[in-house]
Chains A and B, each alone.
Chain A
Amino acid sequence: MPDFEVRISGSGGQGILLAGRILADALGHEALNVAQSQSYEPTSRGGLSRADLVASDARVDYPLASDLDYLVILDDIAATASNDLLRQDSLVVVDSPLAELCELNGHEVRYLPISETARALGDLRSTNMVALGALTSLAGFCSQDKLLAAVTRVAPAKLHAAATRAILKGYAITEF
């Protein structure tokens, strides 16, 4: 697999960084070298939050996102924030209520009911995990087993069951 770059973006408090850390751990167990960076501002309440991953089967040269292969958008504050880093063939996954706010002409875009699915699961806070499942399902950069195993290594124990359920729902919403 060639080097690739992923950005998960939303607002502070959505668990963006946790999603990034789980994905990085999973990719690491696919024998990839992964560099992670993230927004470094007081964003725990509102404000743009992003988790960036640069993965390579060789040593990662430039470890910061500069040319995104995959982008996830989970909040209106993130709707257009990463447009400069997109290519025409980048895959963009957008929480469907944000569709109107995004300016993604010509990109490969998937509008998915991510937050709606999380709400249906009874916890809007699992939006990040639904998104992670959906992204991994579409991108195929790691196996579902590895992703779920990463959850148990990275996430706090009390979240394991809910996160696993939400990730599986994320896979499910991509399958139609």
Chain B
Amino acid sequence: MPDSAPTKTVNLPGNHACALGAIAAGCRFYAGYPITPSSEVAERMSVELPRVDGVFIQMEDEVASMGAILGASMGGMKVMTATSGPGFSLKQENIGYAAGAEIPCVIVNVMRGGPSTGLPTRPAQADVMQARWGTHGDHPIVVITPDSVPEIYAQTIRAFNLSEQLRVPVVMLYDEALGHLIEQVSLSGSGDIEIANRKWAADPKPEFQPYASGDDLIPEMVRPGDGFRTHTTGLTHAENGFPTQDPELVDQYMRRILDKLEIHNALIESFEAIDTEDADYLVVAFGITARAARRAIKQAREQGVRVGMFRPITLWPFPVAAFESIVGGKHGVLIAEMNAGQLITEIERYRPAGCRVDGLNRIDGETITPRQILNSLRELADNE
């Protein structure tokens, strides 16, 4: 995209908006493996990347594509891969490596029905917990869940910014319905986009410690060839980058990689609250289900039930403070999600005393409709 590119509005499917968001954010390396319903992300990247002197490669499998983006990221590029269900499972090993070695990368998971091969062409929202805890061990990860095609574009840019600034893998989590939904998107002119880059270490002194950090808990990255000659490992490592089992150093490392998200929560947290102030009831929903909730809360209010919506945009870390401030005093909360009840477990942790929590769950490969949410809201209000 030339520097002078003006803003223009186009009709795009969600998966293409994701690819264009990545390019706008500065992504110049994509490795992937075909999988329904995410393949259009790869297809669009294969068109766009050569035009901006970037690299596209279709790797031999999901594991390799995740490995390749980490190699390219350590080489200095902004990187992305996209996948779905089974592929997301296969990528978890190297997502853990990215979390532990603090390698910036964006992973797109276009959710389809599971478990296993499941429903390749049907939407689901059943990877909520896998996105948070898919790889083993305590680890930092950020998960973003847009609810429209324009938001896929904008949040993909933000995913890159967060990943680069925090040295953390960021997952773009949306469902098949949004991946293939076509909506109007305003593609920002390149001057209008806020871009954040990783911090590069500049001074290769012999005593340089690649995993030492200041108060922000984020170590500077080293670019191969700049004279640092450092070591990167998935083993638990000390500030010098080399493996350690010293309990004190292990504890220091673990707390730093986990705490860094906590201290940067203001940057990470994002949510939308609609009509929550005077509401007696809240719907909590994300992705395509939030779109159904948008209509349902309007209809409920027309019927005299005062309902608002809390929509996490950053799904993990869950926007706890924002949710707690909004849920206080509500009579009931309805969590609508296309899974058997995943986000509800998080919501129940923050349920105020006396607030009823209901789940509306759909696990048949179909989206939750506004009517279903409306009915569940009426039930919540009637049974209170």
- A–B contact with Cβ pairs below 8 Å: the answer is yes
Which residues of A are found within 8 Å of B177, using beta-carbon distances? 37, 64
Q: How far is the CB of A29 from chain B (nearest CB, A)?
A: 11
Majority secondary structure of chain A interface residues (helix, strand, loop or mixed): mixed
Set of chain B residues within 8 Å of A37, measured between Cβ atoms: 177, 180-182
Q: Which residues of B contact A66 (CB under 8 A)?
A: 369-371
B184, A34: Cβ atoms closer than 8 Å: yes
Closest chain B residue, CB of each to CB of A17: B182
Contact (Cβ within 8 A) A61 B294 = yes
Given contacts A62-B292, A66-B369, A66-B371, contact A40 B121 (CB under 8 A): yes
A24 CB–B CB distance under 8 Å: yes
Question: What is the CA–CA distance of A24 and B298 in the complex, to the nearest angstrom?
Answer: 25
Q: Is the CB of B180 within 8 A of A61?
A: no
Q: B295 contacts A62, CB within 8 Å?
A: yes
**Contact code string A15-40 (vs B, CB < 8 Å = 1, else 0):** 00000010011001000011111101
In the complex with contacts A28-B184, A37-B181, A38-B180, A62-B121 CB distance below 8 A: no
| Minimal beta-carbon separation of A25 from chain B (angstroms) | 7
Residues in A whose Cβ lies below 8 Å from that of B291: 60-64
- Within 8 Å of chain A (Cβ to Cβ): is B37? yes
A45 to B54, CA, bound (A): 36
- Taken together as a complex, chains A and B put the C-alpha atoms of A20 and B157 apart, in Å, by 29
Instruction: Report the nearest B residue to A42, measured CB to CB.
Output: B121
- Check B182–A62 contact: CB distance below 8 A: no
Evaluate contact between A40 and B176: CB separation under 8 angstroms.
Answer: yes
Complex alpha-carbon distance, A41 and B183, angstroms: 20
Cβ of B338 to closest chain A Cβ, rounded Å? 13
A114-159 contacts to B, CB under 8 A, are: none
Q: Out of B149, B298, B367, which one reaches A64, CB within 8 Å?
A: B367
Residue from A33, A35, A61 in contact with B181 in the complex, judged by beta carbons closer than 8 Å = A35
Q: Kindly identify, within residues 96 to 121 of chain A, every residue whose CB is under 8 Å from any CB belonging to chain B.
A: none
Within 8 A of B (CB), among A42-95: 60-64, 66
Is B377 an interface residue when CB atoms closer than 8 A count as contact?
no
A60 to B148, CA, bound (A): 10
Docked complex Cα distance between A62 and B148 (Å): 10
Q: Considering the complex, give the chain B residue whose CB is closest to the CB of A37.
A: B181
Query: In the bound complex, do residue A25 and residue B11 qualify as a contact, i.e. CB atoms below 8 Å apart?
Result: yes
Q: B residues within 8 A CB of A25?
A: 11
Q: Is B288 an interface residue (CB 8 A)?
A: yes
| A41 to B119 Cα, complex, angstroms | 11
Q: Are A24 and B182 in contact (CB under 8 A)?
A: yes
The proximity string for B residues 50-77 relative to A, scoring 1 for CB distances below 8 Å and 0 otherwise, is 0000000000000000000000000000
Evaluate contact between B369 and A36: CB separation under 8 angstroms.
Answer: no
* A61 touching B295 in the complex, CB below 8 Å, given contacts A24-B182, A40-B121, A41-B121: yes
Docked complex Cα distance between A66 and B294 (Å) = 14
Min CB distance, B185 to chain A, in Å? 11
For the complex, what is the distance from the CA of A119 to the CA of B330, rounded to whole Å? 62
Inter-subunit contact A40/B37 (CB<8 Å) = yes
With most chain A CB atoms within 10 A of its CB, the pick from B11, B149, B294 is B11
A residues within 8 A CB of B370?
Answer: 61-62, 66
Q: 1/0 per residue B358-383: CB within 8 Å of A?
A: 00000000010111000000000000
Q: How many Å lie between the Cα of A38 and that of B11 in the bound state?
A: 14
In contact, A24 and B11 (Cβ under 8 angstroms): yes
Inter-chain contact B295/A40, CB cutoff 8 Å: no
Q: In this complex, what residue of B is CB-closest to A153?
A: B11
Could you tell me which residues of chain B, from 114 to 172, have a CB within 8 Å of some CB in chain A? Answer: 121, 148-149
Please indicate the chain A residues that have their CB under 8 angstroms from the CB of B37 in the complex.
40
* Top 8 A-B pairs, shortest CB-CB distance: A36-B182, A61-B294, A61-B295, A62-B295, A62-B292, A62-B291, A35-B183, A62-B370
Known contacts A24-B11, A33-B184; 18 further A-B pairs (Cβ under 8 A) = A21-B11, A34-B183, A35-B149, A35-B182, A35-B183, A36-B181, A37-B182, A40-B121, A40-B176, A60-B291, A61-B292, A61-B295, A62-B292, A62-B295, A62-B370, A63-B183, A66-B369, A66-B370
Residue contacts A-B, CB under 8 angstroms, 26 given = A28-B11, A28-B184, A33-B183, A34-B183, A34-B184, A35-B182, A35-B183, A36-B182, A36-B183, A37-B181, A37-B182, A38-B180, A40-B176, A40-B180, A60-B183, A61-B292, A62-B292, A62-B295, A63-B181, A63-B183, A63-B288, A63-B291, A64-B177, A64-B291, A66-B369, A66-B370
